Amino acid sequence: MPLLSFDFSASASPRPDPPSWMWDEPDEPPKRWVHYLPLCSLIVLMLAPHPSWLLVLVNHHLRTLHSPSSFFVHLLVSYTLTFLAFSSLIVCVTRDPGPISLPKGITEQGGEDACGDDEALMAAPDFGDTLTPLKWCRKCWAPKPERTHHCNLCRRCVFKMDHHCPWLGSKCVGHRTYPAFFHFISCITLLSTYICIVSARAFWWSLDNATLVLDDATPVHELLLTAAGLVFAIVVGSFTIYHMYLISTNQTTLESLSPFLLLRYIPPLPVSLHLSDPPMEHELSYNQRCLVRDTHRSLKLYDVGWRKNWTQVFGWNKPRGWVWRILYGGASKGDGRSFPHNPRAEDMLSRLAERLAAVDKDA
């Protein structure tokens, strides 16, 4: 009797299912209490001015000016903006910014779409036209659609990742949370500006009518609120204006600050240049890097017009969808996997590839 036997019949056991780590979304690293300190500090900063704000409203508008209408208007506006800011903050903290999942047609069970353990260890699965080698993350072993980036702090990929924000509980801002993030910083800017203007007018009135002021503490609160509101309006307002520019040009913060992301989309360069496909930043010469930066200034890869750009971020599909946009920002339209390109992008990228191949020869 032979020591070894091989059964090649049809009744042989099927190939084993792919290991679970291939398909499961990578787990985020556990967060310690220190990760939530910036978020707690943010909440404290949002709530700290309110005792002084209530004191100014009561002492100045009710007890001094005897104007209940002004008191209720200022109270309504300020606490509506505060509620809206907290509603979008909760969305940013609790909602996943953009979970990466398998495209349709890929199964986790055995069958024609499954592959053996040995094949899985050697290379990434072939998804045909759904993905390309550039759209497969080798760090978290997950699909990497267009505009998706890997966050080293979260140890995962995020759809249309904008940036990693420690103030939001050490979470990323991505496709499903960016409208809520912009809603939050816009509400903080409006609230800070409103408190600054109302407090400054009250403080100026107190200086002109010192004999009518109820106590010496109220003007001090008015001055402090004016200063705090001005600081927050300038700091957060500048951030808000910057993101208005990003939305109008259909960029993320990463895309705006990383000109060499364009290298992922240029046509293949000649083999004689001895560059990777796509080329890496450190492989380029000084003149080639300058060309990429110049192209980045004039080419916004996903810019399809400011109206469509804003609609892509804040548009809605359901009736009365604008109500949720006002309340908490919501999420961006689409699935976060594909985006329309600038009509000029293909031609400009082709010209960039030609110039990259010729710039050092001309020198």
Residue 10, pLDDT score: 44
pLDDT at 317: 81
pLDDT at 27: 57
Angle at 95 between CA 89 and CA 101, to 5 degrees: 155
Query: What is the reported pLDDT for 275?
Result: 86
| Mean pLDDT, 10 residues at a time, the chain of 363 residues | 48 44 53 89 96 95 92 97 97 90 44 35 38 63 84 90 94 95 97 97 91 87 96 97 97 94 89 85 91 93 95 88 89 89 92 89 62
pLDDT at position 29, please?
Answer: 66
**Residues whose CB is less than 8 angstroms from the CB of residue 5 and which lie 6 or more positions away in sequence, other chains included:** none
- Nearest alpha-carbon partner for 175 in 97, 254, 100: 97
- The burial of 272, by beta-carbon neighbours within 10 Å (0-12 exposed, 13-18 middle, 19 or more buried), is given as exposed
The pLDDT value given to residue 180 = 96
Q: Which residues contact 89 (CB under 8 A, 6 or more apart)?
A: 42, 168, 184
The residue type found at 165 is: C
The answer to whether residues 329 and 296 touch, using CB atoms and an 8 Å cutoff, is no
Cα distance between residue 137 and residue 350, in whole Å: 26
pLDDT of residue 93: 95
pLDDT score for 363: 54
pLDDT of residue 260: 93
Q: What φ, ψ does residue 261 adopt, rounded to 5°?
A: -65, -20
**Beta-strand relationship, 163-165 and 171-173:** antiparallel
Q: Letter for the amino acid at 42?
A: L
SS3 343: coil
* pTM (predicted TM-score): 0.83
What is the DSSP-derived secondary structure letter of residue 261?
G
The CA distances from residue 121 to 19, 50, 108, 125, 268, in Å, are 10, 58, 16, 10, 28
